[in-house]
Amino acid sequence: MAILECRNIKKVFDADEAAITALNDVSMSVDAGEFVAIVGRSGSGKSTLLNILGMLDKPTEGEVFFEEKNVREMSEKERSTQRNTSFGYVFQSFFLEPEYTVSENVEMPLVIAGMKASERTDRVRELIEIVGLTERKGQKTKKLSGGEKQRTCIARALACNPSIVLADEPCGNLDTANSAEIMKLFREITKRGSAVLMVTHSEEDAAKADRILYMKDGSISNEKQ
């Protein structure tokens, strides 16, 4: 079953009185527990599509469905709740609180979700163990390496046991060894039941996915263009 799907998505931006089409008639889907990679150059529309699929932006035309429900028909409160509980987000630039520890960063979505403190402690411990950062849990994230920061981001993304993790160039700031570790973590995530949708310019990283889609000039294809 498709857990996340878009149909005939178009996104147009107005810039200096000139319309720029970022996405043109894009349709695709991700099944539950599937690892899908979207490959394309910078400016191809990958991040724009990910933002729309993750309910962070709205399309100019077309429809997005999450668990077979039309996102357009959801209230803003419902979309907000889904973003916090059903989606996990991993970004190239991390977006961690630098003065917070690993544990405190991972705990943030659980606080927002209203989980009790005693339950949060156990969940944070479990998540940090999954990403292999137990010995660094009390370290402020500003002192972590790039690979450790991204693993912290993944733990945070998994906090509320999301149905799908959306990753935007997750290895863009990492070396080859750390990139390989992140891909292994994504594979482990799918084994635990969550889907992963990753956009990347790296065909080497994309090759670790179950399925690869290609983006060029706002259009998507099953084959490299």
Q: What are phi and psi of 174, to 5 degrees?
A: -115, 155
Indicate the pLDDT class of residue 222, thresholds 50, 70 and 90.
confident
How do the domains of the chain map onto residue ranges? 1-86+162-225, 98-160
CA 135 to chain centre: 25
Q: Does 16 score more than 80 pLDDT?
A: no
CA–CA gap between residue 49 and residue 60 (Å, rounded): 12
Please indicate, yes or no, whether the overall pTM of this predicted structure exceeds 0.85. yes
Q: Does 172 score more than 80 pLDDT?
A: yes
Torsion sign (Cα): 127, 133, 134, 136? negative
Q: What CA–CA distances, in Å, run from 203 to 44, 120, 183, 199, 213?
A: 15, 37, 12, 10, 11
Beta bridge partners of 89: 166
Hey, what's the torsion of the CAs at 220, 218, 185, 132, to 10 degrees?
A: 180
CA–CA gap between residue 79 and residue 96 (Å, rounded): 23
* Architecture of domain 1-86+162-225 in this structure: 3-Layer(aba) Sandwich (3.40)
Each residue of 44-96: pLDDT tens digit?
Answer: 999 999 999 999 999 999 999 999 999 999 999 999 999 988 999 998 888 99
Q: Does 194 score more than 90 pLDDT?
A: yes
Convert 68-95 to b/e letters by CB count within 10 Å (16 or more is b): eeebeebeeeebeebbbbbbbbbbbebe
Each residue of 100-150: pLDDT tens digit?
Answer: 999 999 999 999 889 999 999 999 999 999 999 999 999 999 999 999 999
